[in-house]
Amino acid sequence: MLPEGFQNKMKSLLKEDYTAFINSFDEQNYKAIRRNPLKIDKDSFESSIDYLGDKVPWCEESYYIADNQRPGKDLFYHCGLFYIQEPSASLPVELLDPRPGEFVLDLCAAPGGKTTQIGAKMGNTGLVVANDVNYKRSLSLKRNVQLFGLSNTAVTNEQPLTLKRCFHGYFDKILVDAPCSGEGMFRRDDRTKNKYDGYEINKFTNLQKTILGTAGDMLKPGGSMVYSTCTFSLEENEEIIDWFLNQNPEFRTIPADNLFQLKNHVSFGLKGFDDAIRIWPHRQKGEGHFAVRLEKDPSVQANVHTNSEVNSLSIPKVAEEAILDFFKDIGLEHNAWFDNLHFERDKLCFFDSSYVKDINYIYKGLEVGYLKKDRFFPSQALAMVADLKVNKKINISSTHINASKYLKGESLYLEGDNGWTLITIDGYPVGWGKLVKGLLKNHYLKEWRLM
């Protein structure tokens, strides 16, 4: 049963559309998966995944799947070939349109669906800062960044105001997928629906105003940002944008239909906000969503400030020798990597940027590996990185029992040369192993193992 207050509000808002809207809650919600273009091309993906349905019209990489499918059990999911994402949730990043080489902030990023979409569109170039204020959720964000093979992404666990002090006028593009009342998720999330009557709308609108205002300060002149929610509420959508534009006259909305041809696939904003996009469950194949793109006047005086420090941490000699031995053993070309490697708390990291001080990093760039008693151990993140090229690898067929055994952390009897080796499933990297006389010691990350 839908909350009575919600029904009354939507009846007043939708008028003659209300009956179709309310009846849509008796229908099944839609599911989708989004291809990772960093790891697999369209034709290979469509031939490898046999349960794909129609494409999601607003996202080229997303496909509908049947409700009875369990893509999280697919071995290719564990290779990072796709992300499981509600269809409407892929819309805001398409609207944002991040480009290779840009600096992009995903301000409310967990669990990471939109971050992985941004990083993939940028081709692992430029910089993505993915932030979430919730520590536990930021750990899920880190895992998805690693699984998708992103090497251009840092994960932070900070309040937006702290980031603003460090990144004033810094980013080319910003995504604000704001916390909200979640009305658009009622069809698929009973917990959100059951909490609804206890919500105070001002709790969300005040938070949304703070977050959006802070994001605007971190955007470069001429930059653009997308504000999105998964709620139907006028107060949290069009009225928030109306408030923001009144407070920040240097911003304007950008018509959505100027960016892509969506008129036959989406709805547009209410109360005269024709530049915004809405997804309605009775009109489109997706849950409720709102998104609008905002642009900052390029003539505004730039006031860029970053509280940065150039990385100058040298790699200890013993660590350098161990790392070189590993690179040589697996046939990894190390010259390009060493220009941007740094050593921190026994971890070796790769990050092609100056660091910003005074920020709580959960993931400070690609973790290449770590030292233990002067021995180097490669990281799970290194195995998953999208453009990793090594000569020493062992492939396991997805139809062989050894594929699931490896993902469960079991030791395997395999043929190959002694030492570290990259393990692939149907040619797609999934983790490391160390082979000694035909027995592979499994180094698949313990936290990721199948039960």
Q: Which residues are catalytic?
A: 230
Q: Which residue has the tokens 């069809």?
A: 187
**Terminal CA-to-CA distance of the chain, rounded, Å?**
35
Length of the chain: 451
Side-by-side strand order, sheet with 31-35: 52-55, 62-65, 31-35, 82-84
- Token code pair at residue 381: 């993140």
What residues contact 198, with CB distance under 8 A and at least 6 apart?
none
Type of residue found at 147: L
Type of residue found at 430: V
Q: Which H or E element spans position 214?
A: helix 201-218
Strand partners, 289: 279
| Interatomic CA distance for residues 351 and 259, integer angstroms | 32
Instruction: Return the percent helix, strand and coil in the chain, to nearest 5.
Output: 35, 25, 40
Sign of CA dihedral 184, 188, 191, 194: positive
Q: Which residues of 140-177 are buried (b: 16+ CB within 10 A; e: fewer)?
A: ebbbbbbbbbbbbbbbbbbebebbbbbbbbbbbbbbbb
Type of residue found at 424: T
Give φ, ψ of 232 to 5 degrees: -90, -15
What is the C-alpha R_g of the chain? 23
| Interatomic CA distance for residues 63 and 33, integer angstroms | 6
DSSP code of residue 276: S
Strand partners, 83: 34
CB 138 within 8 A of CB 70: no
Q: Which residue has the tokens 């499918």?
A: 69
User: 97: phi > 0 → left, psi -120 to 50 → alpha, else beta; which?
Assistant: left
Q: How many CB atoms lie within 10 A of CB 125?
A: 14
| Interatomic CA distance for residues 421 and 423, integer angstroms | 6
